[in-house]
Amino acid sequence: MIGTIFLWMFWPSFNGALGSENQQQRAVINTYLSLTASCVCAFIASYAFRREQKFNMVDVQNATLAGGVAMGTVCDQLIYPGSALGLGAIAGFLSVAGFVFIQPYLERKIGLHDTCGIHNLHGMPSLLSALAGVVAASQAHFDGGDDNANNNYYGSEYKIWTGRGTSIDEESRDANKQAAYQFAFIIITMVIAVAGGLLTGMIVKLPCFGKRDIEPFTDKPDWEVPEIEYPYFFDKRGEVPRDQAIKAAKEAEEAALLAPNKDDLNVLETRLNLLVRSLVISC
């Protein structure tokens, strides 16, 4: 939670670091508005979507930040405060829905293990942000008044798109063409991301990296772990109660005692471990 609080406070500096003057000010304000909306909606969605109807810490630690991600593309653009709040609210609901519904479905259907919820916090809200950027670009027209200084002012603000001019008289891309460019680069980014992910998966599955026939996402193959410590598992609802994990481990050890070809010393050690764990659990 400390990490979440720091991220929530400093996310506007992530989005506004490269801006200048008015652009940076808009980035900070829009990001805070979006973060506020996603924080509120994350708690609402966590209570509504979880069948236990309780706030889930996974949602609180992640979905409350989705508004900052959703502002990544449009944070420095001339959007209304209501748009920033709306994007943040949608991102909060979308992120929680990812943790509750989408992530278990992907794990069950295609075996995709998103251990840190990257798709739910960064993937879907960033795609939402990119689509919002397309809409914002299509609406970024120069002021149609007679005041050339006013036109130049708005033109300079829209210079965040290098293909657009700095005044209404300068020949450059129009708003719709710029929006088309924005959408085209969404497709390019998705292709690069999917191809890069597939390539990375193929590399880590090579025999030179070792074959893992054991349960994934445990430290035992590479680290010495305490025998008394049990991992914290997850299921499609969220956390599995710790007592269930302890019970399953105890049953597995008792079954191991009945297995053939066991050395007497190992049997004695297992019995001692069971005795110690029973004492610890009862205490």
- How close are the terminal C-alpha atoms of the chain, in Å? 29
- 200, two tokens: 């990375």
Q: What is the DSSP string of 196-232?
A: HHHHHHHHHTSGGG----S-SS-STTTS---TT----
Residue 237's pLDDT band (boundaries 50, 70, 90)? very low
Decide: residue 199, CB within 10 A, 0-12 exposed, 13-18 middle, 19+ buried. Answer: exposed
Q: Are 71 and 31 in contact (CB under 8 A)?
A: yes
pLDDT at 280 over 80: no
Q: Residue 9's closest CA among 64, 60, 86, 63?
A: 64
pLDDT of residue 75: 93
Q: What is the pLDDT of residue 47?
A: 94
Tell whether domain 2-209 is in CATH 1.10.3430.10: yes
Per residue in 97-133, pLDDT (tens digit) is 999 999 999 988 988 888 889 999 999 999 999 999 9
| Chain mean pLDDT for the chain | 80
Q: Which of 33-47, 85-99, 225-239, 269-283 has the lowest mean pLDDT?
A: 225-239
SS3 for 142-180 is: CCCCCCHHHHHHHHHHHHHCCCCCCCCCCCCCCHHHHHH
pTM of this prediction? 0.72
CA distance 61 to 106: 21
When mean pLDDT is compared across 30-39, 62-71, 212-221, the lowest value belongs to 212-221
Question: Whole-angstrom Cα distance, residue 29 to residue 142?
Answer: 23
